[in-house]
Amino acid sequence: MTRRLLTVLTAIAAVTAVLLAAWLTLRLTSGEGEDASELVRSARAALDTVAVRGTVLTTVRTLDGEREVRALMHRGEGRFTMRILSGPGEGTQVRRQGEAVWIEGREGRVGRRSEIGVGELDSDLLARNWDFVSEGTRRVAGRVTTLVRGAGPGGGLTLAVDRETGFPLHISRTDPRGRLVSETTWLDADFSVQPPALVTAPPEAEGGPRRRSVTLAEARAAVGFVVYEPGWVPEGWELHGWYLQESPRMTLVQARFSDGIRPLVVIQREAGQEPGSAGAGAERLGGEQRRERSGVHRQRDEEARGRPRESGSQPHERPQRPLEHLRGTGADASRRQMDGTVVVVIGPLSREERERVLDAMKAP
């Protein structure tokens, strides 16, 4: 389950940013070494506003090595459509409109992810956490761009920003160890097009997971397991929001953090809730049922310890299973079961930092 989550999260991050890679020769000119923070902020805005259509080549680091995908991309005014041209997903279309992202398979089935695509590329965090400098020019898709490199808590970022439109025609990201995470290059780009057509009513998913923004209190009230609050994250990472992802099979609670570019995600689920453990027509619990079920979890935990906790007393040490470390696609993860909750930390952190995040999780 965790490996699939890592793959999905990385794929979403790659699609949201732009899409990835080719081997190009750098051509350095004058203007190198100048602060480029404002240029990066403008490029971030151009990702949503500038209309462009063309072919992109994507390279993403996976568990099995680097993988390439070619796609036809059309974007502008906060919308994009992407048709996969190569690889296992050939023929699949990905569409985004505002906060709605949905996938149209070759067989016509639609899967939708609500509020996925609300990017971690935050201009204020970029200014606080990242240093960007220009390094001359680079020709991408036959156009002259300004090459920009940056370093921050989540690793490194390289952009090639079109000098005429301000649109980033190349984006590559590395982790804190300097390893490639993803790389995006537009092979050709037409800026004379109109934005993608507006879809009046984005289609609903056929039984797929739905994700919505919530508060921590709303997340705790919506599920039947204990939801912990992160008590520590490394300096430079700030909370981006809480999300509830629901499907007939399971419910996940996510706390998403950002350093301005890359996501750090803390995922929580019920320990006994595995993919496929509930049928497609499983009845969802109401609010009172969820609270009762959550109380049962706490009672069982205290009975197992043999020391029921009095009101206002300090929490007992939580029974925990051994910590697990997992290699992921684009980011590694650490997982621990605490009481009846499985907590997974996924992001560009060291093993020691991921352990510290888990150690600092706070119960209600």
Q: Nearest to residue 43, comparing CAs of 181, 173, 165? A: 165
Q: With 90 as the cut, is the pLDDT of residue 302 above it?
A: no
pTM of the predicted model as reported, rounded to 2 decimal places? 0.66
Residues 189-205 have a mean pLDDT of 85
Q: Which residue would you say has higher pLDDT here, 288 or 150?
A: 150
State the DSSP H helix or E strand holding residue 160, giving kind and residue range, or none if neither: strand 155-162
Q: Nearest to residue 134, comparing CAs of 51, 40, 54, 232? A: 40
Query: What pLDDT is recorded for position 166?
Result: 96
- In the chain, list all ranges with CATH 3.30.200.100: 211-309+318-359
Q: With 50 as the cut, is the pLDDT of residue 268 above it?
A: yes
Instruction: Tell me the C-alpha distance between 181 and 345, whole Å.
Output: 17
Q: With 90 as the cut, is the pLDDT of residue 285 above it?
A: no
The overall average pLDDT reported for the chain is: 76
Confidence bin at 192 (pLDDT 50/70/90): very high
Domain 2-190 has CATH 2.50.20.10: yes
- In the chain, list all ranges with CATH 2.50.20.10: 2-190
Instruction: Tell me the C-alpha distance between 96 and 82, whole Å.
Output: 9
Q: Nearest to residue 291, comparing CAs of 228, 216, 225? A: 225
301: its two tokens: 């935990």
Q: Where are the alpha helices (DSSP H) in 167-256?
A: 216-222
First to last CA, the chain: 26
Fold observed for domain 211-309+318-359: Phosphorylase Kinase; domain 1 (3.30.200)
223: its two tokens: 């599920």
265: its two tokens: 């995600």
